[in-house]
Amino acid sequence: MCGIIGVIARRDVGATLLEGLKNLEYRGYDSAGFAVIRDGDGFVVRKEVGRVGQLDQYLPDAAGGKIGIAHTRWATHGPPTQINAHPHLSNDGRFAIVHNGIIENYAVLRELLEKYGVRFVSQTDSEVVAQLIAHEARNGAADPIREAVLRLEGTFGLLILDRENPNRLVAVRQGSPLLIGIGEGEYYAASDAAAILAHTRQVIYIDDGEIAEITLDGFQTHTFANEPVVHAPSRIDWEIESIEKGGYPHFMLKEIMEQPQALRNCFAGRLRPVEGTVRLGGIAPLEDDFIRRLGRLVITGCGTAWHAGLVGEYLLEELARLSVEVEYASELRYRNPILGYGDLLIAISQSGETADTLAALREARLRGARVMGICNVVGSTIAREAGIGVYTHAGPEIGVASTKAFVTQVATLAMLAIQWGRLRGVLSHVDATRLAESLEQIPNHIAHACGQSDTIRAIAEAYADTSNALYLGRGINFPIALEGALKLKEIAYIHAEGYPAAEMKHGPIALIDERMPVVVIATEDKIRDKILSNIHEIRARKGRVVAVATEGDTAIAENASHVIYVPRVPPILSPLVNVIPLQLLAYHAAAIRGCEIDKPRNLAKSVTVE
Ligand code: AGP
């Protein structure tokens, strides 16, 4: 998500702040800014949309500032604008903050503070933090920062400056990474070691629920309950290049492993298992009656986003009893589609810039249909032109192959199906609660599936020299077969086809022999026995089967050459977990084949041309 750095020193810190931001650029961002306290002058704040380099022009303004904070923003709430960029100031000018994470209860807090006459200037969740601290201070709190932090819900890595305590930098950690760097007579704080590695390898990792107060004499750490905590220093042995990848060899593997956290960020403030509800604020303008009376519902996208749409079709049909059509955007835009008043188009796009998807959205709107987006990049063209929709909050996805973006797209569609199923009166409160509770557990199941990476690498070694492969799935896992095949194609350059398993006998079975590996998604659901029959058909023709099966399903294992077990989840949510082994299989096959995994040949992260 965002990158943050703070410095307190006996020298000007402006250049160190900007240098730190430049070492955080790899994380992906849309705007950047800094604040320093100049001797006796109060804050100097400079922030811009776009590259960190734009802030170089303001370095002279930072002269004299020996304490400061800086930020690269990956927008979650509020589009990328100069006003929404960090740092944010309290409106009495006393506090400056930078934030990494998502404040789930920002809307409630903002409403409360506005009732007290607090005037907000941005559309962000983060500004609430600055205003709340100032509010606590005005109310006489002995420790306004701690009082404010106790009222925040969600994830927050914070760096805070207080004009009335100009020799103190405060760091707060809850659910977002934060560390303190120990320099020569100076100290640093950052969301990521890459920001400060040029100055120190001695760091203290503070834990969730802790506040650190940093001065030139050192730092004290306390819990939110004000209990003192002591952490032993650690030494960072990584080089910057590997830090950017979180210690993983490729961004793609880092992003596969980040999926549990990406999902939790996607659910934050929206999935309410206790109430058995989902609240997707971004689609509030879609009137309840419009959804109840919805005519055609068309989902469109390209590549992996299209596969997410196919999973969405099963979810919305099953849970919201909606008739859904899923169209390739590149096809929809050139047809003469029957789309008009009373219909809804959902455009799915991680980048929010895919030309075909944007064109399909414009075409649907031109014909009178309502449109909404499911995007990852806040303020992207598709998100802006759709006007309403849901951000997936997957965080920056650097690898060209879509992984956490896909999983959060599917999770968003699952939340949408629950919300609309309840609204349309076709999903009971009991079932919605059960589904929401199961959905909330999916990140843990994904983490468990990610733990199979070494097993999957061993399997990949047995098949990495193949030229072809088949991927089979049934029902809601048919799109996962397509997605698994796409991953193998795009990063391992192995020709692979996804098929509904029952379609084998209508042609593809002619391809089966000992040279054709077949990946079969065979997890527990009502058609699992049919899948087992398909596996028998393949084995009878000497085909080699790599099965994805539910833990404990030995019958599948006995009939497959290799089996990858995944945790048992409700079949309707199984695509979220079943895709993980397929992502890892493609990743390891590509690594074994020496492919350029993060930047595969001929591909771009966002296809903004036709
Ligand atoms: C999938 O791994 C690819 N990165 C590609 O198919 C991608 O999903 C497609 O180009 C759509 O991109 P978007 O989600 O940014 O619109």
- My answer on whether 198 and 305 are in the same domain is no
Residue 385 lies in a domain: yes
Mean pLDDT of the chain: 94
The answer to whether 560 and 459 are in contact (CB under 8 A) is no
Distance (Å, rounded) from C-alpha 261 to C-alpha 376? 15
| Catalytic annotation, residues | 2, 605
Q: What share of the chain is helix, strand, coil (3-state, %, to 5)?
A: 40, 25, 35
470: part of which helix (H) or strand (E)?
Answer: strand 468-473
For residue 603, being part of any structural domain is answered with no
Give the 3-state secondary structure of residue 465: coil
The backbone region for 290, taken as left when phi is positive above 0, alpha when psi lies in -120 to 50, beta otherwise, is alpha
Could you give phi then psi for residue 607, rounded to 5 degrees? -95, 90
Q: How confident is the model at residue 73 (pLDDT cuts 50, 70, 90)?
A: very high
Residue 403 is predicted with a pLDDT of: 98
Which amino acid residue places its CA nearest to atom 6 of ligand 1? 303
Pair (283, 232) in one structural domain: no
Separation between Cα atoms, residue 458 and residue 225, nearest integer Å: 47
Query: By three-state DSSP, how is residue 41 classified?
Result: coil
Q: Which of 560, 401, 556, 571 is nearest to 476 (CA)?
A: 571
Unique residue bearing structure tokens 């598709």? 382
Mark whether 45 and 166 lie in a shared domain: yes
Instruction: Among 299, 302, 348, 376, name the best residue to mutate to test ligand 1's pocket (greatest count of ligand atoms within 8 A of Cβ).
Output: 302
Per-residue model confidence (pLDDT) at position 82: 95
Q: 397 and 373: one domain?
A: yes
* Of the candidate ranges 25-34, 207-216, 329-338, the one whose mean pLDDT is the lowest: 25-34
Whether 337 maps to a domain, the answer reads: yes
Average pLDDT over residues 47-63: 95
Give the mean pLDDT of 398-417.
96
- Atom 9, ligand 1: residue with shortest CA distance: 303
Is 606 part of any domain?
A: no
Q: Which two tokens stand for residue 72?
A: 């690269």
110 inside domain: yes
Q: At what angle do helices 429-450 and 574-592 cross, to 10 degrees?
A: 20
Check: CB of residue 587 under 8 Å from CB of residue 557.
no
From 307, 350, 398, the mutation candidate for ligand 1 (largest count of ligand atoms within 8 A of CB) is: 350
Q: For ligand 1, atom 11, which residue shows the shortest CA distance?
A: 302
Could you tell me how many residues make up the chain?
Answer: 610
Predicted confidence at residue 580, as pLDDT, reads 98
Distance 396 CA to ligand 1 centre (A): 14
Ligand 1 atom nearest to CA at 403 = 2
Asked whether residue 492 is domain-assigned, the answer is yes
CB 470 within 8 A of CB 497: yes
Q: What is the pLDDT of residues 130-156, one digit of tens each?
A: 999 999 999 999 999 999 999 999 889
Q: Is the pLDDT of residue 176 over 90?
A: no
pLDDT band at 1 (very low <50, low <70, confident <90, very high): low
Q: What is the pLDDT of residues 477-532, one digit of tens each?
A: 999 999 999 999 999 999 999 999 999 989 999 999 999 999 999 999 999 999 99
Q: Residue 286 corresponds to which tokens in the numbers above? A: 């879609």
Are the C-beta atoms of residues 483 and 498 closer than 8 Å to each other?
Answer: yes
What percent of the chain stands above pLDDT 90?
84
Range(s) of the domain holding residue 549: 451-596
Indicate if 194 and 261 belong to the same structural domain: no
Is residue 203 classed as helix, strand or coil in its secondary structure? strand
Cα 399 to ligand 1 centre (Å):
11
Distance 297 CA to ligand 1 centre (A): 21
User: How far are the Cα atoms of 296, 367, 371, 382, 610 from residue 336, in angstroms, in the given order?
Assistant: 15, 10, 17, 21, 18
Q: Which of 183, 209, 236 is the last residue of a domain?
A: 236
d(CA 75, CA 377): 7
**Phi-psi region for residue 425, left (φ > 0), alpha (ψ -120 to 50) or beta?**
left
Distance CA 312, CA 594 (A): 34
Peptide bond into 87 cis (omega under 30): yes
Residue 425 has pLDDT above 80, yes or no: yes
Ligand 1 atom at minimum distance from 605 CA = 4
- What element of type H or E holds 356? helix 355-366
Indicate the pLDDT class of residue 589, thresholds 50, 70 and 90. Answer: very high
| Helix 259-267 and helix 429-450, axial crossing angle in degrees, nearest 10 | 160
First to last CA, the chain: 29
Same-domain check for residues 216 and 269: no
Q: In what order do the strands lie in the sheet with 228-229?
A: 88-89, 95-103, 154-162, 169-174, 210-215, 218-223, 228-229
- pLDDT exceeds 80 at position 293: yes
Query: How far does residue 157's CA lie from ligand 1's centre (Å)?
Result: 30
Q: Are 468 and 409 in the same domain?
A: no
- Range with lowest mean pLDDT among 120-134, 241-255, 461-475: 241-255
Q: Helices in 51-152 by DSSP H: which ranges?
A: 106-115, 127-138, 144-149
> Is residue 173 located within the same domain as residue 310?
no
Residue with CA at minimum distance from ligand 1 atom 8: 304
Q: The domain spanning residue 385 has which CATH number? A: 3.40.50.10490
Residues linked to residue 68 through DSSP beta bridges, in sequence order: 7, 36
Write out residues with Cβ below 6 Å of ligand 1.
302-305, 349-351, 354, 357, 400-402, 490, 606-607
Q: Which amino acid is at 546?
A: V
| Predicted local confidence at residue 495, as pLDDT | 97
**Residue 593 confidence class, pLDDT cut points 50, 70, 90:** very high
Best residue for ligand 1 mutational test, from 607, 608, 609, 610 (most atoms within 8 Å of Cβ) = 607
Q: Give how many domains the chain has, as a whole number.
A: 3
**Could you tell me if 273 and 206 lie in one domain?**
no
Query: Which neighbouring-strand residues pair with 70?
Result: 5, 34
Of 407, 439, 471, the one marking the end of a domain is 439
The yes-or-no verdict on residue 460 having pLDDT over 90 is yes
CB atoms within 10 A of CB 25: 16
Residue 406: is its pLDDT beyond 80? yes
Tell me what pLDDT residue 415 has. Answer: 98
Mean pLDDT, rounded, for 91-103: 94
pLDDT reading at 175 higher than 70:
yes
Q: Among 252, 299, 376, 402, name the best residue to mutate to test ligand 1's pocket (greatest count of ligand atoms within 8 A of Cβ).
A: 402
The identity of residue 279, as a single letter, is R
Q: Ligand 1 mean position to 302 CA, how many Å?
A: 6
Are 84 and 16 within one domain? yes
Point out the least confidently predicted range of 115-119, 519-523, 602-606: 602-606
The pLDDT of 329-355, averaged and rounded, is 94
Q: Are residues 249 and 227 in the same domain?
A: no
* Euclidean distance between CA atoms 170 and 146, whole angstroms: 10
Average pLDDT over residues 330-359: 94
CA 384 – ligand 1 centroid, Å: 19
Cα angle 93, 94, 95 (rounded to 5 degrees) comes to 105
pLDDT over 80 (residue 240): no
Q: 187-190 and 202-205: which strand pairing?
A: unpaired
Structure tokens at 547: 């099965």
Residue 41: what pLDDT? 77
Cα of 326 vs centre of ligand 1, distance in Å, is 16
Taking the C-alpha atoms of residue 263 and residue 491, their distance in angstroms, rounded to an integer, is: 24
Is the separation of the CB atoms in 481 and 521 below 8 Å?
A: yes
Q: Are residues 428 and 464 in the same domain?
A: no
What is residue 610's predicted lDDT score, i.e. its pLDDT?
67
In a domain, 444, yes or no: no
Rounded to whole angstroms, the maximal C-alpha distance in the chain is 83
How many angstroms is it from 413 CA to the middle of ligand 1? 17
Tell which of 188, 209, 236 closes a domain. 236
Atom of ligand 1 nearest to the CA of 487: 2
Type of residue at 380:
S
d(CA 608, CA 115): 44
**Confidence at residue 323, expressed as pLDDT on a 0 to 100 scale:** 95
Helices (H), 390-477: 404-423, 429-450, 453-463
Q: What confidence tens digit (pLDDT) does each residue in 384-404 have?
A: 899 999 999 998 888 999 999
604 in a structural domain? no
How many Cβ atoms are within 10 Å of 402's Cβ, its own excluded? Answer: 27
CB atoms < 10 A from the CB of 438, how many? 16
Res. 26: pLDDT tops 90:
no
| Per-residue confidence (pLDDT) for residue 324, from 0 to 100 | 97
Q: Which residue's CA lies nearest to atom 16 of ligand 1?
A: 349
